[in-house]
Structure 1
């Protein structure tokens, strides 16, 4: 090693040795040593212009990109392949990146709303790891206020209308008020049929009752228009990166407990756009206090048929009903987290609303006396198709003397 260092010190230009030249030029030290030791200066080699399989199609490609600058290389590849191109996709992509016209980007207009004017709502999915190693899918409801940038998040097992309403109620209580306008995407629990203009759309009747109760206006995002609800979309990304990523949760209750603590911390930090703290801007929203609104009671009525096993099905779960009502049509009223079953306008049972899917809520008293009823039920004998005498006549066998058989065999022997 010392001999090599000494040799490098001998081959120097001024005060710069071979290693330094190698670092400056990016060439290997052996290459630098070779040319320093040579008496003939290096000559640049010209590459031969070999014909490319793409040459024949370059005018077509340039013409297509001039007309439609956003065409993908896969689309162009399919088009020239039909014309006979048998080359690869890589060289096509390299050529397209060189000749594709630059697409001008339109300037963005940041839309800021005055205090108390607007909030934006959305759903997002999340899979959290359970203690048994499995993963559980939950849905996060998020609302972001346009002026103060206050955020609210709560997780549910589904994106049902009831979950949507409970998410709103939690947000209103957390913000201590209701915005004048709330902006939505095409949520099935909000809009049944979208029309143009969006104000003519057909909204869910239960959602209309909820909206009118609090007096806010519901608006829908513009179709095929990006960044219409950018505040809530950035809020979703912020929740995923700064709260969900790298955390563990034992249940959805634990998830909601932790997210509330995180919200109190996040809303107390300076926002990256307003450069102010959301909690400090919240009083400027000047909301009507949430406690001044009459209490909203979520109540929805269904009709269900009691199955033979004495259960009704609701929201992919099953609930027991007194066995005497098996086979009957009953009314089911869902209110808050309670299911009430009525027959002939009389309440016959109640259940706590189950979360998740494929679960059963069973009450033993609903089946009392059922076993005795079944055991005492008289057995019905099967209906006879034909009279016994007729059946015997069908299967009568002719009787013969043994002498007849002896005569028969003697005949065969002859």
Structure 2
């Protein structure tokens, strides 16, 4: 005998079948619910739930998998029904999602979700972008973080995520290229939070803000408009916020991976799966709606090279300025022109075609990367002393106050070197 709620659920499923196909398929209902065909036929013939006592308990298709489900929820309480269904299907479960959902509700309370207003965008109009970070434990027990760039197409709800060991500007641009290739095109506009790798100085309206030069170069190459969500209003980009929660709960939560490369391979399989399922808001499959996005084809753009070359003159204090940050250069190159090659996560500085130093790429502003060895020997050179202590003539001296040199002890320059004042 079915309980009252089970009886009415069965009636709803039968009505849905009849509306969709014009008839009720008892065998299909049996596969979806796990109930015997005779039980289903008997209850569909009733006008109200049966009050006869149940004479026997028929085993459910879900029974062999209940210990596994219970253990997974004990360890990861927020695992979704969709995720658990995929896992037990891989273990041999051939029943439907309904009895799984009923069992999950019995052992886990529902989570209340606050109401919010949804803003819809036209096809090809907007893409939303934001970072997520996720802590994980390595094989040796240490704790690390992985960073994911999440991007969502506003109209079709196509989702994309790519993971990196950091969330600097090079990773941001590389993630964009991956998303453009996966989606097959570029929208008219992309909405961002106030990311430090995107905007240096926010202004009103947001399109008048001072954007990072490398980001602006990338944006202009693909011809999209960059907009910033309102300060304190993260819900302005609610689509990508919801996607981030979904990525954390459905992709990352309880999943094992051996490296970021391994995680990205699993993420691509996951993306193809979720973008091929009916979306809860649009009630359509994102892949199907993607056809109507009318994106500007990614293949129509010239390739964008993440490696950039900039020419700079080394200042008298032995630094070059690059995108608002300073990088030290060996002191013998003061006053000369050098070439700076910006790679994914580092800067390589060359003189006369030869690399003279490298630095980790700085992603903020007004930061300084100094290497102590770039100033070794400078202080004796300032005093005009050779390695053996003899006076010598030198060319291309870094700027100093000659009067102060004559009255200062060498020990003072050691102090200056430690304080970064040269």
* Distance apart, 1:331 and its partner CA: 3.6
1:347 aligned partner: 353
In structure 2, the residue matched to 1:249 is: 257
User: CA, structure 1 residues 182+378, in 2 after alignment: closer, same or farther (shift >3 Å)?
Assistant: closer
Deviation at 1:340, TM superposition (A): 4.2
- Is the Cα–Cα contact under 8 Å of residues 139 and 157 in structure 1 kept in the other structure? yes
Is the Cα–Cα contact under 8 Å of residues 170 and 343 in structure 2 kept in the other structure?
Answer: no
2:147 is matched with 139
Partner of 1:228: 236
CA displacement at 1:224 relative to structure 2 = 2.6
Equivalent residue for 1:205? Answer: 213
* Paired residue secondary structure (2:155): coil
Q: 1:271 to 1:304 in 2, by over 3 A?
A: farther
Within-5 A mapping of 1:20-59:
none
1:196 aligned counterpart, secondary structure: coil
TM-score by length of 2: 0.51
Change (3 A) 1:304 1:125: farther
CA contact (8 A) 2:126 2:188 kept: yes
- Say which SS state the counterpart of residue 170 (structure 2) adopts: helix
For the residue of structure 2 that corresponds to 1:162, the secondary structure is helix
- Residues 195 and 378 of structure 1: CA distance in aligned 2, closer, same or farther (over 3 Å): closer
The answer to whether residue 305 in structure 2 is matched with residue 282 in structure 1 is no
- 1:338 shift after superposition: 7.8
- Tell me which of 333, 339, 345 is aligned to 1:328: 333
Partner residue of 2:304 out of 276, 288, 296? 296
Given that residues 123 and 139 in structure 1 are in contact (C-alpha distance below 8 angstroms), is that contact kept between their aligned partners in structure 2?
yes
Are 1:183 and 2:191 matched, yes or no? yes
The answer to whether the 8 Å contact 2:346/2:361 transfers is no
Seen in structure 2, the aligned counterparts of structure 1 residues 355 and 155 have a Cα distance that, compared at 3 Å, is farther
Q: Which residue of 2 aligns with 1:159?
A: 167
SS state of the match for residue 182, structure 2? Answer: helix
Q: Kindly provide the CA deviation profile for residues 201-232 of structure 1, in whole angstroms up to 9, marking residues without a partner as x.
A: 21112211111110111111112335211100
Change (3 A) 1:279 1:379: same
Distance in 2 (CA, whole Å) between partners of 1:112 and 1:378 is 72
Name which of 268, 271, 274 aligns with 1:263: 271
**Distance between the aligned counterparts of 2:262 and 2:115, measured in 1?**
43
Count of residues in Structure 1 that have an aligned counterpart in Structure 2: 246
Mapped to 2, the partners of 1:289 and 1:278 lie a distance apart of 18
Q: Which residue number corresponds to residue 182 of structure 2?
A: 174
Do residues 216 (structure 1) and 212 (structure 2) align?
A: no
* C-alpha contact 2:187 2:296 (8 A) present in aligned 1: no
Are residues 126 and 109 of structure 1, via their aligned partners in 2, closer, same or farther at CA, if it must alter by over 3 Å? closer
Aligned CA distance change for structure 1 residues 296 and 351 (closer, same or farther; 3 Å)? farther
2:186–2:296 Cα contact (<8 Å) kept: yes
What runs of 5+ residues in structure 2 fail to find an aligned partner?
Answer: 1-113, 315-319, 323-328, 363-385, 391-422
1:150 match? 158
**In angstroms, what is the RMSD of aligned CA positions?**
3.7
